[in-house]
Amino acid sequence: MEITVKTGNLLHEPSDLAMLATFEDAALPSEVTDLLEPKDFRGKANETLLLYPRGAAAPRRLLLVGLGKREAVSAESIRRASATAVKEARRLQVAAITVAVNGDLPLDAEVAGQAFAEGLDMGAYRFARYQTGLANEQTFLVERATVFSQTVERTRRGAAAGQTTARGVNFARDLVNGPGYALTPAVLGEEALALGKRLGLKVTVLDKAQLTEQGFGGILAVGKGSINEPRFIVMEYGEPKKGTPTICLVGKGLTFDSGGLSLKPPDAMETMKSDMGGSAAVFGAMQVVAETKPSLHVVGLVSSAENMPSSNAYRPGDIVKTLSGKTIEVLNTDAEGRIILSDALFYAQRYKPDAIVELSTLTGAIIIALGAHATGMMGTDQSLVDRISRAGELSAEKVWQLPLWDEYHAMVKSEIADLKNIAGRAAGSITAGAFLAAFVGDFPFVHLDIAGTAWVDRPAKSYDVHGGTGVGVRLLAEFLKGYV
């Protein structure tokens, strides 16, 4: 979408659809109050009202969107109001909209500009490439938005940043929404090469022969049962330099998780094309990094495989020798994410990173714990955990920490190998995190379990749409921005 920022009064500028975001506790201008019964619209968060000013104000249509109380307003309020405006524009087939806040917004102008742009571009997202004969409303593109602001320069700078982030989010969503047969590990590898070529990242993709030669036993074991062979993907921005922090972003890239021989029941398998949501977040974040060029060295690492049952699949009882040399007793082939991630996390150590941040749709147990409202977080270094928490607040991608105490590490020890890949139902998300931590050495490490947040069936937030959410991209973008 083309986003313009300028000064002026939204009510005095002609527009086919103007969105005025309003506080619950601030007076509306008389042009608006004249059009309305006050009790019909109070400005509560997410409340909307569509008005037809008929000359009482310049816009043809005026959409009021509530922001709630002024003191409780955040960037997230603006993000949601903007997305609501886009969705209404699409419904009404309006190609160019105007948006503004009524009264003083208690936010930094750059932060607000970013939130406007993120809401507009995330709200405009659709995954329509497999639909035919769509009604215009569904294919309609909102092409332009004008944001009215009194601090144009800062708002404009924020909007540019927001558009970059939203593009990263939508890229991640496209990857997640791609069906398993179309988005195989090989295709994910090609996506990485294309991204590298487009934006100047150094990209290496290891195929099965190279994985075998170099000993990526975890990825190979999980990928064995599928004709779609596994890949390991390295995307590098910047280079190691004294004084420049090195950050490794690691993603789980299961392009489809059937469970393998420990086959999932049909209901649980329905959305398992989204089991590469962690890798999608890494792709989206690497795109943002390549476009914003921070003074960092950022390495994206993705383990990608398809988990399938077949006569060649890995079995319960198998013992897998990973890249690290550590062995894993496989008791359930559906706990495959931690196995392929073990190789990527060990690989990350070669960069001597200041931080390893790993994202994976790892456990159903995290959905039991936190629902769809927050990403589970575990870490070995509290200052890194705190940085991610802060990024979670700034991006409104909620994260919630769970402990990684010694007792949990003890639970994943095997009788006959170094580790076992399941440890019972109790503390299922934490034992998975403890398992991963065995492969990062002493490097600061955070694990983000996005099983509950990477996919949404019926969106609760106006900027989400059915399917992949692109969770992690905004979080990582804020984290990296704050790291410099």
Question: Which among ligand BES, Mn ion, Zn ion, none contacts residue 332 (Cβ within 5 to 8 A by kind)?
Answer: ligand BES
264: annotated active-site residue: yes
Instruction: For residue 43, give every residue at least 6 positions away whose Cβ sits within 8 Å of its Cβ, in sequence order, or none.
Output: 22, 23, 24, 25, 26, 64, 66, 67, 68
List 69, 70, 144, 264, catalytic entry: 264
Q: Please, which residue, 201 or 261, has the CB nearer to Mn ion?
A: 261
In this structure, what token pair is assigned to residue 111? Answer: 């932060």
Q: Kindly name the residue from 156, 208, 338, 387 that is annotated as catalytic.
A: 338
Cβ closer to Mn ion: 174 or 257?
257
Decide whether 166 or 175 has the Cβ nearer to ligand BES. 175
CB of 259 to Mn ion, least distance (A): 5
Spatial distance between the Cα atoms of 467 and 81, rounded to a whole number of angstroms: 21
110 binds ligand BES, rule: CB under 6 A: no
Euclidean distance between CA atoms 409 and 438, whole angstroms: 8
Which of 18-26, 83-91, 162-170, 327-335 is the region at the interface with ligand BES (rule: CB under 6 A)? Answer: 327-335
Cβ-contact 164, 157 below 8 angstroms: no
Q: Which is nearer to Mn ion, 206 or 330 (CB)?
A: 330
How many whole angstroms separate alpha carbon 392 and alpha carbon 76? 12
Which range touches ligand BES (CB under 6 A), out of 57-65, 142-150, 203-211, 332-340? 332-340
For Mn ion, which is the closer residue by CB, 257 or 329?
Answer: 257
Separation of alpha carbons 142 and 159, rounded Å: 17
Q: Which does residue 63 touch among Zn ion, ligand BES, Mn ion, none (CB within 5 to 8 A, set by kind)?
A: none
DSSP letters for 405-416:
-HHHHHHTB-SS
Q: Provide the 3-class DSSP secondary structure of residue 207.
A: coil
Q: Given candidates 330, 365, 374, 471, which one binds ligand BES under the rule CB under 6 A?
A: 365
Per the CB < 8 A criterion, the answer to whether 80 and 46 are in contact is yes
| Rounded distance between C-alpha atoms, residue 77 and residue 367, angstroms | 25
Query: Is 275 among the residues that bind Zn ion (CB under 5 A)?
Result: yes
d(CA 51, CA 194): 46
Scanning residues 133 to 152, which ones bind Zn ion (CB under 5 A)?
Answer: none
By the 8 A CB rule, do 273 and 256 touch? Answer: yes
Q: Least CB distance from residue 363 to ligand BES, whole Å?
A: 4
The amino acid sitting at 243 is: G
Distance CA 469, CA 281 (A): 10
Q: How many residues does the chain have?
A: 484
SS3 327: strand
The single residue listed with the structure tokens 């099965």 is 208
Minimal distance, residue 424 CB to ligand BES, in Å: 8
Which H or E run contains 196? helix 185-199
Residue 332 interacts with ligand BES (CB under 6 A): yes or no = yes
Scanning 75-83, 86-94, 243-251, 361-369 for contacts with ligand BES by CB under 6 A, the matching segment is 361-369
Closest distance to ligand BES from the beta carbon of 335 (Å): 4
CB 228 to ligand BES: min, Å? 17
Instruction: Please identify, among the stretches 4-12, 224-232, 356-364, 386-394, the one whose residues bind ligand BES according to the rule CB under 6 A.
Output: 356-364
| Residue 275 binds ligand BES (CB under 6 A) | yes
**Residues numbered 326-345 forming contacts with Zn ion, rule: CB under 5 A:** 337
Q: Residue 257 or 464: which CB sits closer to Mn ion?
A: 257
The residue nearest ligand BES at its CB is: 364
Q: Which of 379, 416, 413 is nearest to 399 (CA)?
A: 379
The binder of 363, among Zn ion, Mn ion, ligand BES, none, by C-beta within 5 to 8 A per type, is ligand BES
Question: Vertex 80, ends 107 and 49: CA angle to 5°?
Answer: 105
Residues that bind Mn ion (CB under 5 A): 257, 334, 336
Q: How far is the CB of 360 from ligand BES (least distance, A)?
A: 8
Question: How far separated are the first and last CA of the chain, in Å rounded?
Answer: 29
Member of 188, 422, 437, 473 binding ligand BES (CB under 6 A): 422
CA distance 106 to 373: 25
3-state class (DSSP) for residue 376: strand
Whole-Å CA distances, 236 to 283, 350, 450: 11, 13, 23
Q: Are strands 62-68 and 48-51 parallel, antiparallel or unpaired?
A: antiparallel
Q: Which one of 124-132, 208-216, 252-260, 403-411 is the stretch in contact with Zn ion (CB under 5 A)?
A: 252-260
* Residue 364 site contact among Mn ion, Zn ion, ligand BES, none (CB < 5 to 8 Å, cut-off depends on kind): ligand BES
336 backbone dihedrals φ, ψ, rounded to 5°: -90, -25
Structure token pair of residue 59 = 């816009």
Q: Single out the residue of 88, 257, 329, 397 in contact with Zn ion (rule: CB under 5 A).
A: 257
- Which position among 220, 430, 434, 451 is part of the footprint of ligand BES (CB under 6 A)? 451
Candidates 271-279, 280-288, 383-391, 399-407; binding stretch for Zn ion (CB under 5 A): 271-279
Which residues make up the interface to Zn ion (CB under 5 A)?
A: 254, 257, 275, 337
Active centre residues (catalytic): 264, 338
Residues of this chain that bind ligand BES (CB under 6 A): 257, 275, 332, 334-337, 361-365, 422, 428, 451
